[in-house]
Amino acid sequence: MPVTVPFLTGNKQLSIELAEPVVYLRGPPSNPATHVLRGEIVLVLSKPISASSVVVKITGKSHMLWPEGIGSRGTKMFHEKTVHEQNIILESWDHQENHYDKTINAGLHRWPFEFLLPNRLTETIEDDLAKVFYYVSVTVHRPGLSVPNLKSRREILLLRTMTTYDSALASHNLPTTSINVERQLEYCEAHVCVETAIVSSGTQFPITLTLTPHTKNDVSLESFNVIASEQRIYRLPEYGARRAEMFDFKLKLSSVSNTNDPSLRHVVKEVPPAQLKRALTTKNAHIPLPFSYRFVLKLPNCVDGMNHSTFFNEIELRHCLKISIELSVPDQPERSIINLELPFTILDCRLKEDYAVLPTYEEALTGEPATDDSTPAGFFACPCYLDYKKKRRCIRQDWMMFRQQSAASANDDSSPPPPPYYEK
């Protein structure tokens, strides 16, 4: 779920306008890409103030809970540290001759800024026991011990996608995102096809199972069990602390379709849907071979407790697919079992499957989706995705209106001053 970090400030006249509150990291951290976070600092004053500098900062922090305790006495239950920090001095009057501060006149003041962020940064992580979050803050430093500085803060998201990055575009050997595994048994041959090894949580997950008998014996499929496993490893090098946990998520069936060769469908009987569902839930489905069906399963999302995969050594979240296929042969006391463990990558639930699709002309101009239902088929929206979608749409509209108003005010010298505010 989204991380909410409280930040108390009474200076409403200072704000941060962002062109986009999300930075999309592309590919693994080893990809030598650079991303831009841009925006403007807006200061509205109804009377002059003195200031020494205006500084904008981007900060990334990790926060980890340790219920078992860490430290020499084991009494420390949490640990927070800064994982990234960048500063930009937008204005500084400290070194001006004859004085150390400047009077900022009443009116509207704007300072544009851009941060260049390397792709190796850790993405936003929102696990129950460990988090990585980022925010942009601005401070207008004012001289004097009794005069408070003006401050403002905005949270941002760093989401990692596994879309093709620039260096891969020139390669003619792009790796496939599907997983194909074959196993040879005495009585049959098994082929498992996982259509994509990179998928957003909360979406559909297709798997095709094909079983071809080698003999005339009545080989039967008894069960086909699919579990998504999440391994969570937490490390804190400063204290030599480490904790590992494992969680299994049973995947529910969304739909199933026959993929047998059409020329053989008059020979191979259609398996009833109830019997196909029994293969996923029990161990006695008794489905005769040959067998070739495509199962579309539902992946859990963050509401169900599933996290996205990470590349951060201190908060390492890995995923693998555990597949178990059980077969029976007449006159054989023991059943044959095929066990597979296939690693795959889960993206943040806010990165839906059609993320790489370009917006329409209308959507690019207005910031509104071309249709009322822009959620792709098979995507099970969770609250944080809906909140993310709503905020992106609002901020995009606000940024466009802000830029239009700024351009209009720059060309109109007769624009009225900002309304006055009253101090208590």
CATH code of 287's domain: 2.60.40
**Does pLDDT of 136 surpass 50?**
yes
* Structure confidence at residue 130 as a pLDDT band (50, 70, 90): very high
Output the six-digit token pair for 23: 């930075």
Q: What does the pLDDT read at residue 392? A: 58
Q: Residue 395 falls within a domain, yes or no?
A: no
Q: Is residue 374 part of a domain?
A: no
186 lies in the same domain as 330:
yes
- pLDDT tens digits, one per residue of 340-349: 999 999 999 8
Residue range of the domain that includes 290: 179-347
pLDDT score for 296: 94
**Lookup: tokens for 164:** 């093709």
63 and 111 assigned to the same domain:
yes
pTM of the model: 0.78
The answer to whether residues 115 and 198 belong to one domain is no
Give the span between the Cα atoms of 240 and 209, in whole angstroms.
44
CA 25 to chain centre: 10
- Residue 197 sits in the same domain as residue 99: no
Answer yes or no: do 241 and 332 share one domain.
yes
Per the structure, the count of domains in the chain is 2
The C-alpha atoms of residue 5 and residue 338 are separated, in whole angstroms, by 47
- Closest by Cα among 223, 288, 292, 216 to 260: 292
Q: Is the pLDDT of residue 369 over 80?
A: no
139 and 263 in a single domain? The answer is no
